[in-house]
Amino acid sequence: MSRACDRRQFLGQTAALATAFSMVHAAGSARADAPPETLGVALVGTNNRGSQLAPAFASQPGVEIRYVCDPEDGALQKGLKAVAVKQRKVPQAVRDFRRALDDKAVHAVVIATPDHWHAPAAILACAAGKHVYVEKPASHNGREGELLVAAARKHQRVVQLGTQRRSSDSIVTAIARLHAGELGRVLLSRAWTTSLRQPIGHGTQVPVPSTLDYDLWQGPAVERPYVDNLVHYNWHWFWNYGTGEVGNNSIHALDLCRWGLKVDYPHRVTSGGGRYHFDDDQQTPDTLISTFDFDGASITNEMRTWNRQPIEGSEFGAAFYGEKGTLVIGKAITFYDPKGKQLEQSPVKVSNNTHVANFFQAIREGSPLTAEIEEGVKSTALCHLANIAYRTGRTVNFDPAKACITGDDEAATLWTREYRRGWEPKI
């Protein structure tokens, strides 16, 4: 048994005890205290996704964004402008989000930071008594996902992952039909993402701009010199901070596949691909094809960042191949018969507002989350396992019951990470 399995057994016991002591009766529905009439929100990470989410949060009834937080001044201003689209009252702008955690008027935290901050920030927020909406992927590595679930249970917090397709009525209906048996036995599900990324070039080590708190930006990640092609978006393609395009976008399609098949963890994962197209500083692959084997079914994922030719008519999507037909969820929702004849097609409707509304409904009423963090961690684990199989160049064997890598200490080491001293996430 690998070290990862030993650790997983310990974490499982810790989470179980925390759940028992805190009297959490159902994931996503526990409330340790009655919510106030107005829920205060801190928006953490505002350069890109956080600013996209700001209007959805600011437009919710009985919600006020009280802080925008980002270690870079330009991103702070971008966040303030995004909030102003829907909210008259100007939030406080702070570099260090931990200031917002100390404010009792903040009841929920939205985390839209780089990947290496997702789980550590969410864990800190849970410990501070805040509910959490965290963007995908749920974590930078597998161990952080385990810790995040344990923290949510221990502190009785509502934690939603930003996989907004889970809140789409049209997709929910299609998946329900799948689960009702319209396609018969579904033996294969296919996920894909295609895009046209740009090269990031070769960075040069330069002084840190005065507008950026680079120490805080790095946070729990191993300290690296500042280079001029890292901040803002290019961190996605460095293992120290990101999870590549698989964690960035494939997570959405893989989550649909796992949901549709009603599976949790695979028992075997393989990946093939590489950095074929870009000649620059990117460390993560620009081309990757991964296979996840479960009992009775498989999922495949194809990712490329240099050619946008559609698959099944869409640049992004998930397909389910059953004995009685096929379901494709891409630009549209399409059902086919076993011979490939189109039977029906309907629009896909996905809304950040609906997903955010579900988050606040869970806080106020204790209703179920559509993307509760434990489900999100399972889908995120597929991304980590695909990357680990790629990085080791070997098949990764996984124990679904214990949720751990077996028989490969090098692969198990990649299930976690090295942290800067004093920044290790703790529950």
pLDDT digits (tens, 9 = 90+) for 71-85: 999 999 999 999 999
> How much is the average pLDDT of 332-354?
97
- Backbone phi and psi for residue 398, each to the nearest 5 degrees, phi listed first: -130, 140
- Domain residue limits, the chain: 3-165+353-372
For the domain made up of 3-165+353-372, the CATH class stated in words is alpha beta
Which residue type, as a one-letter code, is found at position 264?
D
Helix crossing, 49-58 with 73-84: angle to 10°?
Answer: 30
- Average pLDDT across the chain, whole number: 94
Structure confidence at residue 12 (pLDDT) = 52
- Beta bridge partners, 271, equal 290
H or E segment to which residue 67 belongs: strand 63-69
Structure confidence at residue 158 (pLDDT) = 98
Res. 36 pLDDT band, cuts 50 70 90: confident
Centroid of chain to Cα 336: 30
Q: In terms of Cα–Cα distance, which of 310, 217, 236 is closest to 280?
A: 236
- Beta bridge partners, 159, equal 132
Contact between 159 and 130 (Cβ < 8 Å): no
Contact between 241 and 114 (Cβ < 8 Å): yes
Evaluate if residue 91 carries a pLDDT over 60: yes
Structure confidence at residue 5 (pLDDT) = 74
pTM of the model: 0.94
Structure confidence at residue 18 (pLDDT) = 44
